[in-house]
Amino acid sequence: MSFFENTRKPAGFGGRIMVSMMNLGHGAMAGWGLRFLMVPTNAAVLDCGCGGGANIKKLLKKCSGGSVKGIDYSPVSVEKSRKVNRRAIEAGRCVVLQASVMKLPFEASQFDLVTAFETVYFWPDLSCSFQEVYRVLKPGGTFFICNESSGDTSKDDKWTEIINGMTIYKDVQLQAAMEQVGFHHVQIHKNQKGWLCVTAQK
């Protein structure tokens, strides 16, 4: 497995390096995307594909009276996320589980917000995964996607060539997949760097 395969599912020593790199490297993009999101202070939030846990930490600050759960299918990512958010976990405000977005381990209508930073590229079945997100969101809840690659520039192609199983979706593809499972009020934001943020309501 090449080092860059660890972006898809971090494993072993290379995976531990990768999740630390992602925590640092994706900070600016995540901060940009979160500007388009209003998070109630008492929100119940789920971060899907939580990686190294840096965005869980950001979300915990935004919902200071709420809670954030994280899921990732990589044991390395779960370990790192738990370490980064240890205090919040001990305080009962955070839980990080090893799980797949294809089968979320939660009852229906639990969350005010579900986030996905730099991860939908690797979801094996977009429609099934979006249906699961829709299921666990409360009515009126928000689904938030933030990607560094929008598919609008040729430079994005190199990543799909390097990383097996990676698909870079354009805004119209994500919007169509969201609306197909019932989401509405889809809003799309882009910047000159090629970053993409999509929000939708249940």
125 or 10, higher pLDDT: 125
Enter the pTM of the model: 0.89
Segment 169-190, tens digit of pLDDT: 999 999 999 999 999 999 999 9
Angle at which helices 171-180 and 126-136 pack, to 10 degrees?
60
CA 41 to chain centre: 20
Q: Are β-strands 67-72 and 137-147 bridged in parallel, bridged antiparallel, or unpaired?
A: unpaired
Residues 113, 137: Cα–Cα separation, whole Å = 7
Q: Tell me the backbone φ, ψ of residue 113, rounded to 5 degrees.
A: -145, 135
Whether residue 5 contacts residue 94, with contact meaning beta carbons closer than 8 Å, is answered with no
Segment 79-134, tens digit of pLDDT: 999 999 999 999 999 999 999 999 999 999 999 999 999 999 989 899 999 999 99
Confidence class of residue 27 from pLDDT cuts 50, 70 and 90? confident
190 or 8, higher pLDDT: 190
